Amino acid sequence: MPAVVPIIDQLSAIDTPWDPRQAATFNGQDIKVVYLQGDFIWHSHSDTDEVFLVQEGSMQMGVREAGVESALTLNKGDLYVVPMGQEHRPFNADARVLLFEKRGTVNTGDFEGEVPGHIHQTDGRSGSD
């Protein structure tokens, strides 16, 4: 029998930003806990939608469509679905967030440059067991 997962306690206990951790999995999807602080990099995911659910704090989500950038504000209790293939960038963040995405997703997506030092690039293997 699966165990109860104290997911909000897990989320509150994170002390390193941009370091998503798997909390649960269902139907081939991961549920991850992550602390967002400051700015991420522009990237996209070619094979998964990505859901952000803000549990504490607030953040902005930059979205780039046809070369035009726009930004959305997400406060506590807000959810946003980044569609597969959509260029996006969380920024101006101080938020504790639940992420929902396909198992094995790498947080930097299709980004190919050097990842800034404040970001922990996941290997996509969490949840692959």
- Token digits of residue 38: 């400051």
Which of 13, 69, 83, 118 touches a second copy by CB under 8 A? Answer: 83
Q: What is d(CA 81, CA 89) in angstroms, rounded to the nearest whole number? A: 13
- Using the contact rule CB under 8 A, the part of the chain among 14-22, 34-42, 94-102, 114-122 near a second copy is 94-102
Which of 48, 107, 108, 122 touches a second copy by CB under 8 A? Answer: 48
Q: In this structure, are residues 39 and 18 in contact, taking their beta carbons and an 8 Å threshold?
A: no
Q: In this structure, are residues 22 and 14 in contact, taking their beta carbons and an 8 Å threshold?
A: no
Q: Does 24 bind a second copy (CB under 8 A)?
A: yes
Q: Does 70 bind a second copy (CB under 8 A)?
A: yes
Q: Does 67 bind a second copy (CB under 8 A)?
A: no
CB under 8 Å to 33, separation ≥6 — which residues?
Answer: 7, 10, 11, 14, 20, 21, 23, 96, 97, 98, 99
Which of 14, 63, 106, 115 touches a second copy by CB under 8 A? Answer: 63
- The residue ranges that bind a second copy (CB under 8 A) are 1-2, 4-9, 23-29, 31, 48-51, 53, 63, 65, 70, 72-74, 76-83, 100-102
